[in-house]
Structure 1
Amino acid sequence: MELKTLRNFITVVQEEGISAAADTLHVSQPALSRQIKELENELNATLLIRGNRSRTIGLTDEGKLLYRRAREIVALADRTRDEITEGDMIEGDVHIAGAQTAAMRTVAKAAVRLRQRHPGICIRLHDDYGANIIERLDNGFADFGVLVQPIDMSRYDYLPLPGGDSMGVLMRHDHPLAARKTITAADLNGVPVIVPQGVLARGDLSGWLGHHAKSMNIVGTMNLMYNASCFVQEGYACAIGPAKLIDTSWESGLTFRSLDPPMHTKLAVAWKNKQPLTPSATAFLDALRAVIAA
């Protein structure tokens, strides 16, 4: 499989048809059709479900798999090219995959320090949760991952981030639990809640909930607290998540109550311990160490 062919296949999928893709790529439709057919022959699989006159297409299961992998292959190839051509100049992209956390301010301070010294560097943020962040690190799509602890860090080098997140419940001002100063596990019996996907995957709440875990009414998961706050404002549910991420002024209609007993998360910035860092990633790491030391 050639990179050019994979790029063209991606365009066909994104343009939802061979005709539209040919116009975008400035090639003839027969030539593009022939290229896609040769790709199918090479893989011994049908990739496209062709509509009338090949104007619209759908994807077979094999086509969906190739589309996902092709985007990864092309992205990694582009990144490799950029890293090699970067040379002695400290510029380029630093990819950071991170969970949503107030501790990201430390990362942001490091980015400010980095930009002051190397204005040609661009930070690429990828918001996600634990399993996907680790996948990005392992596949080389992220230089660094901001990970909630505890997690197996044997494959990574890492720096603990100072502070951490105090967990609590985001709710509307008029919710019955808003009258309480803190929220216990018993308070949440039967209450519809949205929880972070990472918290659910790691089982972080299990110890805090104790025997009340069976009465939890989880009606949704999220990666970004802001998106969950929109559901909370509309009365869909309360949301369990980190403090200091959402506006809880009176005008917002929202309020936040800490968990009782308190629950705090610890975080670390991790990178592959057997994968050499690019000059720009090394410069970011130097800036992060300086910020943490200060």
Structure 2
Amino acid sequence: MELKVLRNFITVVEEEGVTAAADVLRISQPALSRQIKELEDELGATLFTRGTRSRTLELTREGRLLYRRAQEIIELADRTASEIATEEEIAGDIHIAAAQSTVMRTVAKAMMQLRAKHPQVRVHLHDDYGGNIAERLDNGLADFGVLVQPTDMSRYDFLPLPGGDVMGVLMRHDYPLASHERITAADLKYVPVIAPYGVLVRRDLSGWLKQGNEELNIIGTMNLLYNASCFVEEGYGCAICPAGLVDTSWQSGLVFRPLEPERHTQLAIAWKKSQPLTPVAAAFLDELRTVI
């Protein structure tokens, strides 16, 4: 598979048709159709079917898989070219995949110090949860991953990050539990909650709850708290989450109550053992060590 063909395939997907994609790419429609047909022949799979609208194309299951992988391949190729071009100077891009946490302030301070010395540095943040963060690290799509602990770190080098997040419950100000100063496991027994996907997978609350996750009335999962907070505002339920990530001032209509006994998250920043750091990534790590 040629990178040029994969780029053209991505354009066909995003433009929802060969004709529109050919106009964007400034190539003939027959030439682009031929590229897609040769790609299908190479893979032995049909990538598109005709959509409900006669002029649109829809991805098949195989097409959706290729679209996802093609985006990763192109991103990795572009990053490699950029890193080679800036190999001799401290400049270029740093990709950080991270769980949402207030400890990212430490990471931000290190990046500020680095940019003060090397203004040509840029950071790209990708918010996600543990499994996807590890996948981006393993695939080379992230230089660093900020992971909630405990996590299997055997494939990585890492630094523990100072501090941590107090876990608690986000709710509307008029919810009955808002009158409590702290939330116990008994308080949550029948409360409909949206829970972070990573918290459930790692079973972070298994020691706090007598019966583990099964004790919770889970009505949804999340990996981005802001989106979940919109559901909380609308009365869908409460959210189990870290403190300090969304507005809980009196104007917001939301309140946060910590768990009792208190629970904290611990995080670490990781990078692949087997992957040499680029000069800009190594410089960032030096700054991060000074901040820590």
Is the TM value for this pair above 0.5?
Answer: yes
Indicate yes or no: 2:186 matched with 1:198: no
Matches within 5 A, 1:1-294: 1-50=1-50, 55-211=55-211, 213-292=213-292
| Alignment deviations for residues 119-152 of structure 1 (CA, whole Å, 9 cap, x no partner) | 1010000000000000000000000000000111
Distance in 2 (alpha carbons) for counterparts of 1:21 and 1:165: 46
Distance in 1 (alpha carbons) for counterparts of 2:278 and 2:249: 43
Distance in 1 (alpha carbons) for counterparts of 2:86 and 2:169: 46
What TM-score comes out, normalization by structure 1 length? 0.96
| Alignment deviations for residues 205-225 of structure 1 (CA, whole Å, 9 cap, x no partner) | 121111374341111111122
Q: Give the structure with the larger helix fraction.
A: 1
Contact 1:6 1:70 in 2 (8 A): yes
Contact 2:209 2:215 in 1 (8 A): no
> How far has the Cα of 1:67 moved from its partner?
1.1
Distance in 1 (alpha carbons) for counterparts of 2:231 and 2:58: 33
SS at match of 1:209: coil
SS at match of 1:183: coil
Distance 1:160 1:55, change over 3 A: same
Q: Compare 203-212 and 250-259 and name the one that shifted more.
A: 203-212
| Alignment deviations for residues 10-46 of structure 1 (CA, whole Å, 9 cap, x no partner) | 1001100000000000001011111111111122221
Letter in 1 for 2:32: L
> How far has the Cα of 1:276 moved from its partner?
0.2
Contact 2:200 2:213 in 1 (8 A): no
Contact 2:192 2:218 in 1 (8 A): yes
Letter in 2 for 1:278: T
SS at match of 2:24: helix
Distance in 1 (alpha carbons) for counterparts of 2:51 and 2:148: 46
SS at match of 2:235: coil
User: What residue ranges of structure 1 are gaps of 5+ in the alignment?
Assistant: none
Aligned residues: 292
Letter in 1 for 2:73: I
Report runs of 4+ in structure 1 exceeding 4 Å deviation. Answer: 51-54
What TM-score comes out, normalization by structure 2 length? 0.97
> How far has the Cα of 1:51 moved from its partner?
5.4
Distance in 1 (alpha carbons) for counterparts of 2:72 and 2:244: 34
> How far has the Cα of 1:227 moved from its partner?
1.4
Distance in 2 (alpha carbons) for counterparts of 1:69 and 1:214: 35
Contact 2:133 2:145 in 1 (8 A): yes
> How far has the Cα of 1:113 moved from its partner?
0.6
Distance in 2 (alpha carbons) for counterparts of 1:236 and 1:208: 24
